[in-house]
Chains A and B, each alone.
Chain A
Amino acid sequence: MAQAIRIKGGRIYDPLNGLDGVVKDLCVEDGKIVEECQETAEVIDAENLVVFPGGVDVHTHIASPAVNAARALRPEDHRLLCCPRKPGMRSGVGHTIPSTFTTGYLYSRLGYTTVIEAATPPIGTRHTHEELNDVPMVDKGCLLLMGNNEFILQYLKLGELDKIKRYVAWLLNSLKGFGIKLVNPGGVEQWKYGKDVEGLDEKVNHFDVTPRQILQALTWVNEELGLPHSIHIHANRLGVPGNYEVTLETMRALEGKRVHMAHVQFNSYGGDDYLNMTSKAKEMTDYINQHRNVTVDVGQVIFGDATTITADGPWQYRLHKLTGNKWYNYDVEVETGAGVVPYTYREKNNVNALQWAIGLETFLLIKDPWRVFLSTDHPNGGPFLYYPWVIKLLMDAEFRTQMLKRVHKHVLTRTLLPKLSREYSLYEMAIITRAGPARALGLRNKGHLGPGADADIAIYADNTDKEEMFDRAVYVLKDGKIVVRDGEVVQSVPGRTIFTDVPADDDIMNELREQFENYYTVEIGNFPIPLEELPFHQAVPTNRSA
């Protein structure tokens, strides 16, 4: 087990430790990065290669009841990419909603070693964990959906913030969640009777509370509990022209608090319909640049097939009406909703081209790379398989110029993209795909290559074509084991489920018992997930206990 490896002579990009292309050896022992190499260490010759920490995806959808519903919905998508069984590895299907084993292999090939499933309904979290148990190669955690939880809304109505805090702690503790996710706060509750909310101060049906109150209460709880990750928000009015105002308003409402705005591209639209839609990336990024409490992931759009999967039920209904595509909806008692609609982004489509450009503007206009992270909101903006294409767009202004000639002409007049000549460096790329998201998630052992870090390492062959460079890693080490060699997975490792170690509070469970019985349909005793159900796991301490 005590495997020691010396990665020899690679160019190291380790932003958390300030290493910008420094050539030096890296030593690995017992799954960790160490100061000194053992003499007997196996040597990986990394001369002329680029060494990055393993990739960290702060926002993806790879396992949840809704993700699995999307798989079941789309046999036509799976037929496009079949992955045969290999010794020690399982078969599967790929493309926009890969099967679990394949998800792990595909992420690993790209050099990713940690991914966060960004939305699981509490009552379906046993399912999410069972799926994640079948996603090999990467460490993974899940964010619990809470922004429309009726118990929370009820407590909020009664002004019992402390009970919200205890309830949230109980949810995280008993379900082995990593953090708190809000999706269209208040809006999904409205959707349960077929409606949505328009703004932050609209009252939510039956509960006499507003999205603003929900946002502020859960952000307070997040900080009170000292969760490693900030509150993680999918703002109201996603996908709708003119939504940048409510997004700005959301950030203002939480001014001064740590906040992560998810797939912000989908929330940066001006105009009042899809014909006159414009980019408001400038307004959004101006705010973000001035407010250091905000981190974002972009939700970059990829041209081609996507599958939209979100807890934002009302948005999915709108998308179904816009496209005529098949529509799956799944409202979850007490907690949340979900919807799935297949979607294809087209270069020549006015809206899609703007979405593509707004994502790139967001990347290029945010000055501090530590606060903007690479995501496609997989598979909403497109599959994670296309991250290398996004990297090329960010690192190669000439390639962007070529793309600008192909996409719908509105991009030229309604966005700043044609004027932006910034190119990301490798160092910055290591920040937005590794160091930044790891820091935002509060994962101290991830996203860097200093002693004590998990030996999650991705090694690439430098190449002027950055898409080719990042398409397949030459080596990937997961916990110090070589799992990818020459772009192919050579060894399957299970990966760990990471969750936040929030102290338990059994009293709140007894207080909840009656409402639970009245409004849920399962016994409260059957709700918590014992640790034995997660064969490979790791608890992350809160900032309170640290």
Chain B
Amino acid sequence: MTAQPMEEIVLTFKGTRGSTIPLEADPITPDVLQLKFRPEIERLPLYHGNEQVLLGDFFTVKGERSNQIRVQGDLSLVKNIGAGMQAGRIVVEGNIGMHVGARMSGGEIEIHGNADDWAGAEMTGGLLWIKGNAGNRAGSAYRGSKYGMRGGVILIEGSGGHEVGGYMRRGLIVVRGDVEDHTGARMVAGSIFVLGRLGARTGGGMKRGSIVCFHTPDMLPTFRLTSTYTPLFIPIFLRSLQARGFSVSEVQRARHFTRYCGDMAELGKGEILVCQG
């Protein structure tokens, strides 16, 4: 038994042996693994359909007792990794299944691949960085919840799906690629930046908060053009993103913005800023 904590825990996915049933891997968070020895980690319960299995059945485990986790392989069918995490760091080398980083309150998750639906849903803190595409409802709410994301940062280098940042109350989401419909649906506060193109009904039902667009979206009739101005914070913010390694080509273009306010069907105190170059 080693007394020293190791640098990193590496979990290598063995695959589902042809099964298309998703694997629910809730214990894969730094909070659970950081105090555990390797044999304990291998014995952690995961759920494969209605069957309880062991983490060791599906992953080879290297390292122990660390809050730094590296997960390798095509994890498209693996759900709940990093869900509810409070601290530490997870690096995913490959695609990842649903609910990654959902309800997380701290720490960092970095995904070198695509994430499925509900990435960072209802998160309250921490950083979720998706190098590939995100599925639907990134940073949004689960059914019935009053609020989606309530804090933290989601960076998506690829595209986002439907309802990015729905019901958002606080925090920041940046999408470098395109997004689908209902971005910022019914949001009450917080900021969403979309550098690519947007689907329909951007900001539908928003009460407060900001959505910053670099392509002109189809504006809902319930938004009203109020002004054109030059917000200083946007280029500063984009440069700070660049400094962190999130490359943005729009920095030079981000000078003049038209400001729409809405949604008049609700409180109407939200804003959509559209870059005019």
Contacts and interface: CB of A to CB of B under 8 A. Distances in A.
**Contact flag (A, B; Cβ within 8 A):** yes
A325 B143 contact: no
A325 B143 CA distance: 15
B146 A75 contact: no
Interface in B132-160: 142-146
A73 interface: yes
A74 interface: yes
A76 interface: yes
A77 B144 CA distance: 8
Contacts of A325: 146
Interface in A64-108: 73-77, 79
Contacts of B145: 76
A79 B146 contact: no
Interface string B146-184: 100000000000000000000000000000000000000
Nearest to B122: A76
A79 B141 CA distance: 13
Interface in A32-81: 73-77, 79
Contacts of A326: 146
B19 to A, nearest CB: 24
A75 B122 CA distance: 14
A326 B144 CA distance: 9
A220 B35 CA distance: 70
A326 B143 CA distance: 13
A74 B144 contact: yes
Contacts of B143: 75-76
A69 to B, nearest CB: 13
B220 to A, nearest CB: 21
B52 to A, nearest CB: 12
Interface of chain B, helix or strand or loop or mixed? loop
B146 A73 contact: no
Interface string A307-334: 0000000000000000001100000000
B208 to A, nearest CB: 12
How many chain B residues sit at the interface, stated as a range, is under 10
A50 B142 CA distance: 45
B44 to A, nearest CB: 18
Contacts of A79: 142
Nearest to B266: A324
A255 B146 CA distance: 46
A445 B223 CA distance: 65
A164 B143 CA distance: 45
Contacts of A74: 144
A73 B143 CA distance: 10
B167 to A, nearest CB: 11
Contacts of A77: 144
Contacts of B144: 73-77
Nearest to B141: A76
A75 B143 CA distance: 7
Best-buried of B142, B144, B146 by chain A (most CB within 10 Å): B144
A74 B142 CA distance: 11
Interface string B78-117: 0000000000000000000000000000000000000000
B144 to A, nearest CB: 4
B79 to A, nearest CB: 16
A328 to B, nearest CB: 12
A79 B146 CA distance: 14
A73 B146 CA distance: 12
B187 to A, nearest CB: 14
Among A73, A79, A325, chain B packs the most CB atoms within 10 A around the CB of A79
Contacts of B146: 76, 325-326
A326 B145 CA distance: 10
A68 to B, nearest CB: 15
Interface in A319-351: 325-326
Contacts of A75: 142-144
A73 B142 CA distance: 13
B206 to A, nearest CB: 14
A79 B83 CA distance: 14
A452 to B, nearest CB: 48
A336 B96 CA distance: 51
A325 B142 CA distance: 16
Contacts of B142: 75-76, 79
Nearest to A79: B142
B134 to A, nearest CB: 22
A79 B142 CA distance: 10
A377 B60 CA distance: 53
Interface string B193-226: 0000000000000000000000000000000000
B189 to A, nearest CB: 14
B141 to A, nearest CB: 8
Contacts of A76: 142-146
Nearest to A344: B146
A76 B143 CA distance: 7
A166 to B, nearest CB: 45
A305 to B, nearest CB: 11
B42 to A, nearest CB: 24
Nearest to A342: B146
B98 to A, nearest CB: 15
A428 B183 CA distance: 58
B214 to A, nearest CB: 32
Nearest to B147: A76
Nearest to B145: A76
A288 B143 CA distance: 45
14 contacts: A73-B144, A74-B144, A75-B142, A75-B143, A75-B144, A76-B142, A76-B143, A76-B144, A76-B145, A76-B146, A77-B144, A79-B142, A325-B146, A326-B146
Given A77-B144, A79-B142, 8 more contacts: A74-B144, A75-B142, A76-B142, A76-B143, A76-B144, A76-B145, A76-B146, A326-B146
Interface pairs A-B: 10 shortest CB-CB: A76-B144, A75-B144, A76-B145, A75-B143, A74-B144, A76-B142, A325-B146, A79-B142, A75-B142, A76-B146
